[in-house]
């Protein structure tokens, strides 16, 4: 599922769909870490001491390099938009949406 995670750059959008909404996150950074760096998936990976962050962050992880498990590629993204499915598919992914 995250085979191309390494192709994301700062400013790129990630859209997550749940039962009633589309949530758009903007990539704000990435890093390669060793597997023991568990703080990268904490509530605020930019400030591990902060247990109650005010930012809505998404953290995606995958093995790095591909097909190996010596390191992890971590991609951080911040929530930039949430829209109800009643409002339709977000414009940034409309070209990928199936015809209805």
- pLDDT tens for 7-60 read 999 999 999 999 999 999 999 999 999 999 999 999 899 888 887 888 999 999
Query: Does a structural domain hold residue 20?
Result: yes
- 0.85 surpassed by pTM: yes
Query: Does a structural domain hold residue 27?
Result: yes
Peptide bond preceding 65: is omega within 30 degrees of 0, i.e. cis?
Answer: yes
Query: Does a structural domain hold residue 94?
Result: no
What tokens does 42 get?
Answer: 């904490």
- In order of 27, 60, 73, 91, the CA distances from 46 in angstroms are 14, 14, 15, 30
Instruction: Provide the domain count of the chain.
Output: 1
Query: Does a structural domain hold residue 96?
Result: no
Q: Where are the beta strands (DSSP E) in the chain?
A: 13-17, 21-33, 57-64, 71-84
Helix or strand or coil: residue 54? Answer: coil
CATH number at residue 9: 2.40.260.10
């Amino acid at each position: 599922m995250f085979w191309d995670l390494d192709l994301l750059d700062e400013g790129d959008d990630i859209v997550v769909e749940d039962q009633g909404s589309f949530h758009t996150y903007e990539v704000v950074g990435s890093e390669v870490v060793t597997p023991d760096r568990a703080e990268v998936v904490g509530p605020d990976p930019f400030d591990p001491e902060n247990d109650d962050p005010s930012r809505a962050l998404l953290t995606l992880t995958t093995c790095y390099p591909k097909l190996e498990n010596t390191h992890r590629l971590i991609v951080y993204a911040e929530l930039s938009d949430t829209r109800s499915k009643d409002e339709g598919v977000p414009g940034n992914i409309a070209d990928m949406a199936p015809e209805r």
